[in-house]
Structure 1
Amino acid sequence: MNKLIKKIAIVGPESTGKSTMSQLLAKHYKVSWVPEYARYYCENLIAPYTLQDEVNMFYGQVALEDAILVTTESDFIICDTTFVTVKIWSDEMLGETPQLVLDALPKRPYDLYLLLDIDLPWQDDPLRDFPNQREYFMKVWHEELKALDANYKVIGGLGELRVKNAINAVDGFLGK
């Protein structure tokens, strides 16, 4: 795997436009992007998820990312979320995080995180659970990123302004 490829992660609470933003940025920069594995996984669950499901989502996200890293010709990739999400959801929904995830967090860093703000209106989705806890989860994201000593920028704004703010943050990171 080419260690010189930078990873830019698009993260944040539910309904902040992560998937849309990651695709728009990948298109803008003409780079590869890694989709959110958990979305595909959860769409096929027929029972409440378990700690093993969280482990499976961790492995799935890592496998998708690694597959993109070994095939891309870009200097960087865009990741629609990261397995930090597995930690946040495991802690919140199951009261613990699999040790495997905790061990991997410091070993698989991202070069830049764009933390999408909760200033977008909530969009209902069968896979979203907490429309009234967005401030809480924004605080959790700040805490998790600070605990990782992550390089991150909060991205707010509506519509084109949000995209422009994200592009400016990425350009600043890339030295453009």
Structure 2
Amino acid sequence: MIPRLVQHFGGVPHVAEFGRTYCEAFGTDLTMADLVEIAKGHDGKTRGALSERSYPVILDTDPLMTAVWADMMFGRRDPWFATWTNTADIYLLFDIDLPWVDDGTRMFGSPAQRQRFFDLSRKILEERGVRWALVSGQGSTRYINALRAIEALSRD
């Protein structure tokens, strides 16, 4: 989805998922300190992308979602997450209507875990009061729904 969105918006910069790179380098046996480092790393890459170009910049994820990982893994968040304020202008919350694929770094693959992660993600978006939309569907329908959500949220 990310490459298609980048292309659609004229090759705008995007920030890849920093947690994936981190886990590929250091493994998936994460501590709370690791999650804070992942969040800080992603935030740093986002700030760097924004300093090189104004909007839009497409993010694969951000520290809000890393906070959800903390909730899932430890049932709590490091205080750093509450102090982070560099939220995106628009969030897309992707529905869990696609099959889960184990790629070596993904976690939380059972239906119950997927639902819990989804619910926690929705909750943090609502708690922070950010603009967000639910995107569902398969294949091209999902992509079109993402574009429609971005368009609708951009007008708000």
Work out whether the TM-score is over 0.5: yes
1:139 is aligned to 119
DSSP 3-state at the match of 2:99: coil
SS at match of 2:121: helix
**2:128 alignment counterpart:** 148
Count of aligned residue pairs for this structure pair: 152
Give the AA of the match of 1:111: D
Larger relative helix fraction: 2
Q: Which amino acid aligns with 2:121?
A: W
Unaligned 5+ runs, structure 1? 1-20
Give CA deviations for 1:130-157 in whole Å, capped at 9, x if unaligned.
2112112111111111111121100001
Bigger proportion of residues as strand = 1
Q: How does 1:70-85 map to 2 (within 5 A)?
A: 70-72=51-53, 74-85=54-65
Structure 2 match to 1:86: 66
Match of 2:94 among 113, 116, 139: 116
1:23 aligns with 2:20: no
Runs of 5+ consecutive residues of structure 2 not aligned to the other structure: none
TM-score of the superposition, structure 1-length normalised? 0.80
What do residues 47-101 of structure 1 show as CA deviations (whole Å, max 9, x unaligned)? 72112111210111011101100112x5311110111122111122123211112
Alpha carbons 2:91, 2:133 under 8 Å: kept: yes
- Percent of aligned pairs with the same residue? 31
User: Residue 134 of structure 1 aligns to which amino acid in structure 2?
Assistant: R
Structure of greater relative contact order (alpha carbons < 8 Å, 6+ residues apart): 1
